[in-house]
């Protein structure tokens, strides 16, 4: 079955010595973006142009594009074009979410760790939050909690509001990475949440968010920390309810502990 034959021909690649030798196609496309000072949203050359400029086949360019789009370095729109991506953390979301699905036990572990880290970041930034939250953003957060309560009364659930709430909380700190991480972790959490048994007390959850806002308004970072810890408590209970987790109250310092044992 091996039709070995016709030596030359199929590829008239005279030499095609890859100028930027050693570098993979992925790296060379990255290099292209850097060299041309492209920013997120800027249009990329077409696959054909790239395959010509880089002197590789379009299949190769396409595979590189697949890798890059998985990392959100480029964004591909079918039948339209390719653009520089937003560099979000969607890749981590995919990876973590799939990791959780692989094994139920691992899922529990990952989720518990996830909650701990989320709480850790938020409590750790409590001082900055009370310091920098403006009345305007506080007002919009109040708005969100009102929407939560309304939906809770209708037994509806308020995932979108919850996500936006935590995102706003991080945004006031000015730390873009914290915002991205929070969004990513929230997404992972939401994906794995459906697989969890039981239900959350909607009204109680909404109240927990109000308590956070009250603490911010009172400019009491200690109170804010305990409010955040209390906010996560029911979620912990809903899952394996593992060890550790120095509950709330401690007030004074740290208190962002937990990190169940393995």
Partner DNA sequence: CCGTATTTGTGCGTATGTATC
Partner DNA sequence: AGATACATACGCACAAATACG
Q: Which is nearer to its own copies, 149 or 166 (CB)?
A: 166
Partner in contact with 182, chosen from its own copies, DNA, none, beta carbon below 5 to 8 Å by kind: none
Torsion, Cα 206 210 215 218, to 10 degrees, reads 180
Partner in contact with 78, chosen from its own copies, DNA, none, beta carbon below 5 to 8 Å by kind: DNA
Among the listed residues 39, 78, 80, 194, the single contact to its own copies using CB under 8 A: 39
Coil/strand/helix, residue 65: helix
Q: Which is nearer to DNA, 80 or 197 (CB)?
A: 80
Among the listed residues 49, 52, 103, 156, the single contact to its own copies using CB under 8 A: 103
Q: Are 114 and 235 in contact (CB under 8 A)?
A: no
Burial class (CB in 10 A: 0-12, 13-18, 19+), 7: exposed
Query: d(Cα 22, Cα 28) in Å, to the nearest integer?
Result: 10
Residue 74 bridge partners (DSSP): 84
Concatenated DSSP letters of 178-238: HHHHHHHHHHHHHHHHTTSSS---HHHHHHHHHHHHHHHHTT-HHHHHHHHHHHHHHHHHH
102 binds its own copies (CB under 8 A): yes
Phi, psi angle pair for 231, to nearest 5°: -60, -35
Residue 81: CB partners within 8 Å, gap ≥ 6? 43, 44, 46
Residues numbered 43 to 82 that lie near its own copies (CB under 8 A) are 59, 62-64, 66-67, 69-73
Q: Which is nearer to its own copies, 38 or 147 (CB)?
A: 38
Among the listed residues 18, 45, 222, 240, the single contact to its own copies using CB under 8 A: 222
Q: Which is nearer to its own copies, 19 or 253 (CB)?
A: 253
Closest approach, Cβ 9 to DNA, in A, equals 7
Residues in contact with DNA by the rule CB under 7 A? 1-13, 16, 25, 44, 46-48, 56-60, 62-63, 65, 76-82
167 binds its own copies (CB under 8 A): no
Catalog residues that contact its own copies under the rule CB under 8 A: 30, 33-34, 37, 39-40, 59, 62-64, 66-67, 69-73, 87-89, 91-92, 94-96, 98-99, 101-103, 109-110, 113-114, 116-117, 120-121, 123-128, 131, 173-178, 181, 221-222, 225, 244, 246, 252-262
């Amino acid at each position: 079955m091996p039709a070995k034959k016709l030596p030359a021909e199929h590829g008239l690649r005279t030499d095609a010595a890859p100028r930027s030798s050693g570098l993979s196609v992925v790296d060379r496309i990255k290099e292209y973006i850097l060299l041309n000072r492209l920013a997120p949203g800027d249009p990329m050359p077409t696959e054909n142009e790239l395959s010509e400029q880089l002197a590789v086949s379009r299949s190769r360019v396409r595979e590189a594009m697949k890798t890059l789009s998985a990392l959100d370095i480029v964004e591909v729109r079918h039948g339209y074009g390719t653009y520089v991506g937003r560099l979000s953390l969607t890749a981590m979301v995919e990876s973590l979410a799939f990791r959780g699905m692989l094994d139920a036990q691992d899922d529990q572990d990952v989720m518990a760790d996830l909650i701990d880290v989320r709480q850790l970041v938020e409590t750790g930034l409590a001082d900055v939050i009370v310091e920098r939250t403006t009345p305007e953003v506080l007002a919009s957060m109040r708005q969100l909690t009102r929407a939560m309560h309304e939906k809770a009364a209708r037994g509806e659930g308020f995932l979108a509001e919850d996500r936006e709430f935590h995102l706003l909380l991080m945004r006031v700190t000015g730390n873009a990475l914290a915002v991205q991480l929070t969004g990513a972790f929230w997404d992972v959490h939401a994906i794995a949440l459906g697989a969890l048994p039981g239900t959350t007390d909607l009204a109680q959850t909404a109240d927990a968010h109000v308590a956070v806002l009250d603490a911010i308004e009172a400019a009491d970072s200690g109170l804010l920390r305990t409010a955040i810890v209390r906010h996560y408590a029911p979620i912990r209970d809903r899952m394996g309810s593992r060890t550790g987790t120095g509950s709330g109250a401690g007030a004074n310092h740290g208190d962002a502990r937990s990190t169940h044992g393995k």
